[in-house]
Amino acid sequence: MTRPTRQTLPEGALDATDRAILNTLQEGFPLTPRPFDDAGAPLGLNGAQLIERLSRLREIGAITRFGPFFDAAAMGGDFCLCALTAPEADFDRIAALVNAHPEVAHNYARDHELNMWFVLATPTPEGIAETAARIEAETGLTVWQFPKLQEFFIGFRVQA
């Protein structure tokens, strides 16, 4: 359903109502029998209109997901941000070794001495250390673990 894109939408693709939807629905969505009606009301939309706009926003790739966000740790699993330093000449091979693990949820190249940053998501807390150890064995590189100690979340505002 998602369009994994790094493309930017053309100017004017979103109107003020679309931007209000993006800002408001990042905060939360009602758990009521007719949630689109309830969420749409403060935006001046009925449920059908809100659904139509959300469908379009998803189709054009303005949103990547709509629904519950689960906390892996609360479900008994864990998440951990990890980083390693891959030699430039060997970068793609190392990336392939890292990405081959299903526990690697995302992986980004970054411009720093620690040049590969990835997130491990495992169904058990022990899975993080186990997966990191396997990656270390396969790559011969140290996997530094940066687990989240505390999170401060507010979201991201689209200019209205």
DSSP symbol at 7: P
Kindly report the number of other CB atoms within 10 A of residue 138's CB atom: 13
Helix (H) or strand (E) holding 95: helix 91-99
Location of structure tokens 């959300």: 54
Shortest distance in whole angstroms from residue 137 CB to another protein: 19
Q: Indicate the residue type of 29.
A: F
152/124 Cα distance (integer angstroms) = 24
Shortest distance in whole angstroms from residue 138 CB to another protein: 16
Shortest distance in whole angstroms from residue 29 CB to another protein: 4
Shortest distance in whole angstroms from residue 94 CB to another protein: 10
Q: Is 128 exposed, middle or buried (0-12, 13-18, 19+ CB in 10 A)?
A: buried
For another protein, the closer of residues 44 and 99 by Cβ is 99
144/158 Cα distance (integer angstroms) = 34
For another protein, the closer of residues 96 and 137 by Cβ is 96
For another protein, the closer of residues 106 and 133 by Cβ is 106
For another protein, the closer of residues 42 and 102 by Cβ is 102
